[in-house]
């Protein structure tokens, strides 16, 4: 639903912002700089995907209010393929970590690396190599989404932890935005995870493309507003042969509040619902919260 809403929002945008010939960015331009009465210049545009992330907030999990801390490194690159002349929109999230300190439900979730690589072509097609090659329109960008080293530790559940060693998904993006600020991808995903139980036993689970992933988001050109959503649903099988269905969905919306010494601070409201997918007990849980996020070095 959220993706549909985002798609609808996309089509409601002015033509320039979804044009296919030029990236609708204000980067490096004077539009992103203003002057004080004294003549000092200050930035007014930011890239939420390029920053050193620090955050704190309050989260409600299972009816319990918890303080949270968040940190990580965010990188976003845009490059042109030399061999194909294609645009690649890449995002990298390194060591993004969230901790819930305190005595109640103390825990830590961290991801060593998470990245998406979207291959953008203005006029996508599929070539059928018959004697006379046939070109069939293919109205999607292709995105490779990978995640490695996702660790979840919940102290109140006792000894043990959950590690998703790796996950890869191949996503189709019908929006085909010529900007890294808008994306919508869905497709199958494969993953492998480990679960070390309190009694010391080790369980392994595999999802051989029996899950589907949705990744979508939109950031305004000046970076003041950001909306993101993602989802995962599908079957996962243990090495012993058990199979179960699990699902997860999360969404967030952010608004920039102010910048301190040109380092912007956003307010983020977010929510997550997990069905049989959290903790050692593979529980069902919802969380909601608010964060204050500083993304340093993100000014354009």
Partner 1 sequence: MIIQAAALGWALLLSQVEGQEKAPQPETQQAGEDSGEGSKREQLKDVADKVKAAPEPDRSGNDLTGLLTPEEPRPALRYDQPILCTRLPPTKQVPSGEYRMQCDPVTRRCLIAPASELDSDGQETDRALLRTSYCDRSEASANVRVQEGYRFVPAIAESPPGWYRDEQGRVMQFNFDLHRRIYLGGAWAPLFRSGQGVEQNRVRVDFGIQTEFPGGDEDNRLHRLTFLQTEVYLGEPSLDVTLLRYDFNVERKVPLFRITTFFGKPRRFDVGLNLGAWVEALHQETIEREGSELSVLTWGAVHGTLDLWHSPDLVSYVRLRAGPSFERDRTHGQNTLVPTAAFEGNITLDTDGFHHLLFTVEVEKLFLDDPVVGRALHPERLRVRAGYELILLAINDQPVSVVVDGRGAWRSDIPNVAGKWEWSANAGLRASLWAPARRSAPLASAR
Residues making contact with partner 1 (CB under 8 A): 34, 36, 40, 42-44, 224, 256-262, 264
**Distance (Å) of CA 229 to CA 1, 24, 85, 92, 260:** 10, 22, 30, 17, 28
Nearer to partner 1, 176 or 181 (CB): 181
**Distance (Å) of CA 187 to CA 43, 121, 213, 239:** 37, 18, 5, 24
Min CB(33)–partner 1 separation in Å: 10
What does the DSSP 8-state code read for residue 113? E
Nearer to partner 1, 44 or 68 (CB): 44
What does the DSSP 8-state code read for residue 104? S
SS3 call for 25: coil
**Distance (Å) of CA 186 to CA 4, 270, 281:** 12, 21, 28
Nearer to partner 1, 144 or 269 (CB): 269
Nearer to partner 1, 32 or 99 (CB): 32
Nearer to partner 1, 83 or 261 (CB): 261
Residue 119 gets the label, from left (phi > 0), alpha (psi -120 to 50) or beta, of beta
Question: Regarding beta strands 87-100 and 33-35, do their DSSP bridges make them parallel or antiparallel, or are they unpaired?
Answer: unpaired
Min CB(135)–partner 1 separation in Å: 46
Burial of 113 (0-12, 13-18, 19+ CB in 10 A): middle
Query: Do residues 221 and 25 touch, judged by C-beta distance below 8 A?
Result: yes
Query: Do residues 253 and 262 touch, judged by C-beta distance below 8 A?
Result: no
Min CB(45)–partner 1 separation in Å: 10
Nearer to partner 1, 217 or 264 (CB): 264
Min CB(36)–partner 1 separation in Å: 5
Min CB(163)–partner 1 separation in Å: 34
- 29 phi, psi to nearest 5 deg: -90, 165
Min CB(206)–partner 1 separation in Å: 46
Nearer to partner 1, 138 or 225 (CB): 225
Min CB(104)–partner 1 separation in Å: 24
Min CB(25)–partner 1 separation in Å: 18
Nearer to partner 1, 119 or 291 (CB): 291
Question: If we measure between CA atoms, which residue out of 297, 147, 118 comes closest to residue 216?
Answer: 118
Q: Please name the residue that has the structure tokens 């010529």.
A: 178
């Amino acid at each position: 639903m959220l993706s549909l809403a985002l798609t609808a929002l996309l089509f409601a945008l002015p033509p320039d912002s979804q044009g296919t010939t030029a990236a609708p960015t204000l980067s490096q331009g004077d539009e992103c700089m203003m002057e004080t009465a004294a003549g000092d210049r200050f930035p007014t545009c930011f890239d939420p995907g390029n920053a050193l992330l620090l955050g704190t907030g309050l989260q409600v999990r299972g009816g319990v209010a918890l303080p949270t801390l968040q940190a990580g490194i965010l990188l976003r690159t845009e490059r042109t393929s030399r061999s194909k002349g294609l645009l690649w929109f890449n995002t990298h999230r390194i060591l993004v970590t969230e901790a819930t300190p305190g005595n109640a439900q103390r825990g830590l979730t961290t991801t060593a690396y998470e990245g998406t690589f979207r291959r953008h072509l203005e006029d996508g097609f599929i070539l059928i190599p018959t004697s006379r090659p046939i070109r069939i329109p293919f109205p999607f960008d292709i995105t490779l989404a990978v995640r490695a080293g996702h660790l979840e530790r919940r102290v109140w559940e006792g000894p043990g932890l959950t590690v998703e060693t790796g996950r890869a998904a191949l996503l189709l993006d019908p929006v085909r935005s010529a900007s890294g600020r808008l994306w919508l991808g869905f497709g199958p995903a494969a993953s492998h995870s480990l679960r070390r139980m309190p009694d010391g036993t080790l369980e392994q689970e595999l999802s051989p493309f029996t899950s589907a992933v949705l990744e979508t988001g939109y950031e305004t050109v000046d970076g003041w507003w950001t909306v993101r959503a993602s989802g995962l649903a599908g079957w996962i099988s243990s090495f012993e042969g058990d199979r179960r269905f699990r699902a997860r969905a999360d969404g967030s919306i952010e608004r920039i509040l102010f910048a301190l010494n040109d380092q912007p601070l956003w307010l983020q409201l977010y929510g997550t619902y997990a069905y049989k997918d959290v903790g050692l007990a593979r529980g069902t849980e919802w969380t909601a919260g608010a964060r204050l996020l500083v993304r340093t070095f993100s000014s354009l």
